[in-house]
Amino acid sequence: MIKKHDSLFSGILLIALAAIVFTQIPTIRITKMASDARLMPKITAAPTEAPTEAQLDWPKDTIEVVSTAKAGGTNDLIARAYSRELEKKLGVSVIVTNMASGGQAPAIYYVHDSANPEYTILNTHDAFFINEVQESIDFGMEDMSLLGITAKVPGQILWARAESGWKSLDDFKAACDADPGKLTLSLSYGSTTQVMGEMLIAAGVQAKAVDSDGGSDRVVQLEGGHVDTAILGWDTGSSYFEAGQWVPLCIFDDERCKDCPDVPTAKELGYDASWPTNYTWSMAPGVDERIVKKLQDALAEIAADPAFVEEMDGYAVNAIFEPAEESLPKLLEGRDAIAKFLS
């Protein structure tokens, strides 16, 4: 009887052990497979090369060039001349929008914050840095996608009406000394003309600075007798000079301009006031570098075209192209000079 019980017990035990082993087989198999998987080499997809400039599907839409001045001045002229040629090279419409109010800050922000950054370009000049120095904007040129310098313009001229009787800057200074702060000097706050005016005042000319809404407004102010002098380019004032209405008192540059060689520089007359102007094109931060390069190549070709250079020379504009890597250091030096007078 005892042997039967032992035999029965042994059979039950064997069945139980078999069941335990059977249930563990999948676990053992999975663990082994997982272990083997860790030893297998990883298979990764081959990296995909970024499309080249030649493969870039851009532009496909209208490009907007924002000029930070009213229509009719040098700023607008440069924007429209380059835009016209760029349209031919890129095969899409390139339009110019003039945004002149607010000392350029609204136009700068418009491009910086553009909802269409790859199709919006800022056409401005050194006045960008006035906005930075005076904290009208909270970023610098180095934060933008700078294309480069597109043109250089000789320093502007201090003009007076011929009826004033003044023949030189010394004559104007003498009149200012006789009645300090009465005679007026028209410029644009937030523009390079502000720097020129501040330089002149710092050099001892006791004139009163009067704000204007750009170059065309300064023409109206001076021609209408609302101001005594105004800072404007030779291209703007030469027709009035030839008509005997205006006289140039000095040019704000380090050397005389080839278009008006008889106009002395403020420096040679003993006044530390010189400011030739650099015009730049830039885009919002982070624009695809291939787009930047494509535009730089196109602008370089335009600026190298003899017919274009001759055309711009007729407006006393030196059409050049200096890409960002060459132009940014000198532009930042200009910013430091602006800070010296306007901080």
How crowded is the C-beta side of 235, counted as CA atoms within 13 Å? 20
Whether 147 shows a pLDDT value over 70: the answer reads yes
The pLDDT mean for the chain works out to: 86
159 contact partners, CB below 8 Å, separation of at least 6: 222, 229, 230, 231, 232, 237, 240, 241, 246, 247, 248, 249
Q: Considering only the top CATH level, what class is 157-251?
A: alpha beta
Query: Residue 51: its pLDDT value, please?
Result: 53
Highest-confidence range of 53-57, 196-200, 253-257, 300-304, by mean pLDDT?
A: 300-304
157-251 matches 57-154+276-342 in CATH topology: yes
Query: What are 170-208's pLDDT values in tens digits?
Result: 999 999 999 999 999 999 887 788 889 999 999 999 999
- Helix ranges (H only) for the chain are 2-39, 74-90, 105-112, 127-133, 169-178, 192-202, 215-223, 234-242, 289-303, 306-313, 324-342
Alpha-carbon radius of gyration of the chain: 35
Query: What are 13-61's pLDDT values in tens digits?
Result: 444 434 443 344 443 333 333 334 333 333 334 444 555 656 789 999 9
- Domain boundaries along the sequence of the chain: 57-154+276-342, 157-251
Query: Residue 103: its pLDDT value, please?
Result: 73
Classify residue 315 by its DSSP letter.
T
Fold (CATH) for 57-154+276-342: D-Maltodextrin-Binding Protein; domain 2 (3.40.190)
Query: Residue 79: its pLDDT value, please?
Result: 98
123 beta partners: 67, 281
Are 92 and 58 in contact, with CB atoms under 8 Å apart? no
> Largest alpha-carbon pair distance within the chain?
146
Distance between CA 102 and CA 130 in Å, rounded?
A: 12
216 contact partners, CB below 8 Å, separation of at least 6: 70, 71, 72, 73
Are 74 and 215 in contact, with CB atoms under 8 Å apart? yes
pTM of the model: 0.70
Q: How confident is the model at residue 141 (pLDDT cuts 50, 70, 90)?
A: very high
What is the separation of C-alpha 144 from the centre of its chain, rounded to a whole number of angstroms? 7
